[in-house]
Amino acid sequence: MFAHRADVTLTMSISFIIFLVGCSLVLAGKQMTRALLFPMLFLFTMIPVVPNSIINTVAFPIQLNSAKLATVMLNVLGLDAVRNGVTIRLPDYTLAVELPCSGFKTLIGLLSFAGAFAYLVQAPRPKQWAIFLFSAPLAVVVNALRIALIGIVGQAFSARAAQAFHDYSGFIVLILGFMALFSFARLLRCESFLGIPLADPPPGSGETPEEARERERRRREAEQREMDARYGPPRQSTLPHLARGLYPVIGLLALACVGAGMVRKPHLQHPILRAEDVPKALGGGGWTAGEDIPIQKDVQDLLQPLTWINRTYLANFPKTGAFDLLISGGNNRHVFHDPHECFMGNGFLLHDRGVRRIETPAGPLVVQETVAERMRDKSRELMMFVYVVEGEQIQTPARLHARMMWQAVFGESGRPSYFVRFRQWNKGDNEERRRELIEFARAVWSEVGPLVTAKSAPLRTAARAPAPQAR
C-alpha cells in the first residue's frame, strides 16, 4: 500500500512475487513450494531491479568491448573499419555505438533465457551452470555481430537502410544467441530439453528414433515416480484442500483492496513554479535568455512533470559563458530523473566532483558538481544540479529516493518538488568555467530559490497545472 501511494513500481512488483510464494506455502505446503521456487523467483528477471548506478557502470565496458569486437569483425571482412572510442568509421558510413546498443539489454535477455533453458535441460548441475555462464560472453559476441551487420548494411546500401535494419536486427541476433545456447548444450552432451533429446545416441548403438523416444518415455516415467516419492502422489480431493488454504488469502486480498482505496496519492497545495516566474534577464542584465526548448514527447510520457522549464542563457559583457537552465517540477517521483542515466543515453559519462555550497542573496545553494565527458571526443562540460523536496535541498538520487519513501510512509506537506540543473555550454572543466557557472547559478537561485523552496510562495490550494504540451 505504501508503494502504491508513492507510485513505486519496483516495490509493488517485488511484493507480488512475495505474495505468490506465501500463497504457495499456504495452499501447497513447503515441499511443493520448494519445487516451484525457481519458477516463482524467475519472475524477478521481469522486474528492473538493477539500480541505474550499476547499469551505468556495467553498460559502458560492454558498449566499448562490443564496438572493439565489431571493428575486428568488419576488418576481417575487408571493410577497413577504424574505431574511435565507441564510434566506428567505414569508408562510406559512420556509426556510433550508443547506450541503447551497448549490449546490456542483450546480456539481460540472454541471461534470463539461459537461466530458464538451463533449468529445463536434463543434465548434471555443473553443465547447467556452464550453460548459464556461457550466455554472458555470448551476449557480447552477438551484440558485436549485430553492430557489424548494421555497419555492413550502411556501407553497402545507405544510412537509411542501416537505420531500418537497426530497428529489427535485435530479434535476429537474439535468435542466433538462442541457437548458440542450444548447440552448446548439445556440445556438453546434455540429455534432453522438454523431452527433446539433445545428445546423439552412442556410436554403434544402432538406436532408431522410435527406440530413442521409448527410452525418453521410460526416463520420464522414472522421473515421475521420483517426484511422487519426494512430494507425494497428486491429490484426488484437491478442491477441499485448496478451499481451506484460500480463506486467509482471500482475507488478505480484501484487506489490500480496502487499504488501497484508503491510500491517497499526494496532491499539490502550493502553487507550482511557472516559466514566466523565471526572469528572461538575470543578474541585472548580466545574462539574457535565448530560446525555450520544448519538452520532447518521450520525456513528457516518462517524467510527467507539472512544470518544465528548459531555457538557454547568454552572458552579456563583461560576463562570459553560455548556459542551460532546466527546472522540472511536480509531486510525481518520476519527475526526479537521474542525470547520470539521461546523459549516458546521449553519449556522456558523468563524473561527480562532490557537493559545493554557493552563497546567494536568497540563501545558500548546495549543489552536486559534475563533469559531463562526451565519450565520442572526450570533451568535457561542467554541470551542477540539485533536487528540492519539501524545501530541502538534496544532491544525490540515493538520498532523494530515501526522502520520497519517507514521504510515502509519513505523509507530506503538499509542496511541489523540483529538479534544478545548471549546465555550462562552453567546453572545459577548468577554474574559469567553474567560476562562470557558479555566477550563473547564483543569479538564477536569487530569483527562483525562494519559490522552489516555498519560502515566498503564497499558501493557497492550487488547481492542478496542465502538463506542458510536447511538440
Please check the confidence at residue 179 and state whether its pLDDT lies above 50. Answer: yes
pLDDT, average across residues 299-324: 85
CA distance 367 to 357: 7
Has residue 460 got a pLDDT over 60? no
Give the domain 275-452 fold. Protein Transport Mog1p; Chain A (3.40.1000)
Q: Which tops the pLDDT comparison, 318 or 195?
A: 318
DSSP string across 354-369: EEEEE--TTS-EEEEE
Mean confidence (pLDDT) of the chain: 79
Q: Grid coordinates representing 80?
A: 577497413
**pLDDT score of 470 more than 50:** no
Q: Is the dihedral of CA 264, 266, 268, 274 positive or negative?
A: negative
Cβ pair 38, 119 in contact under 8 A: yes
Confidence at residue 463, expressed as pLDDT on a 0 to 100 scale: 39
Residue 305's pLDDT is 86
Exposed (0-12), middle (13-18) or buried (19+): which is 446, by Cβ within 10 Å? middle
pLDDT at 326: 93
Question: Measured between alpha carbons, how far is 112 from 122 in angstroms, rounded to an integer?
Answer: 18
pLDDT digits (tens, 9 = 90+) for 329-345: 887 555 667 787 677 65
Sign of the CA dihedral running 213, 215, 216, 220:
positive
Q: How far is CA 321 from CA 309, 317, 431, 456, in A?
A: 20, 10, 13, 30
The length of the chain in residues reads 471
Cβ within 8 Å of residue 448, ≥6 positions away: 273, 277, 278, 327, 420
Query: What percent of the chain clears pLDDT 70, i.e. is strictly above it?
Result: 76
Would you say residue 164 has pLDDT above 50?
A: yes
Measured N-to-C along each axis, helices 238-262 and 9-41 cross at an angle, to the nearest 10 degrees, of: 160
**Listed residue (109, 108, 82, 105) closest to 95, CA to CA:** 82
Whole-angstrom distance, CA of residue 138 vs CA of residue 131? 10
pLDDT, residue 123, reads 84
Decide if pLDDT at 391 tops 70.
yes
209-231 and 9-41 helices cross at what angle (nearest 10)?
110
Which of the listed ranges 46-50, 372-376, 444-448 does the model predict with the highest average pLDDT?
444-448
Q: Rounded CA gap, 125 and 130, in Å?
A: 9
Within 291-332, residue ranges assigned H as helices are: 297-303
pTM of the model: 0.57
25 vs 309, higher pLDDT = 309
What are 61-111's pLDDT values in tens digits? 888 888 899 999 999 998 889 988 788 999 988 888 876 677 777 888 888
For residue 369, what pLDDT is reported? Answer: 94
pLDDT at res. 232: 64
Could you tell me which residue, 121 or 248, shows the higher pLDDT? 121
In the chain, where the domains are located? 1-47+236-263, 50-197, 275-452
- pLDDT on residue 438: 93
Give 19's pLDDT tier (boundaries 50, 70, 90).
confident
Burial (Cβ within 10 Å: 0-12, 13-18, ≥19) of residue 425: middle
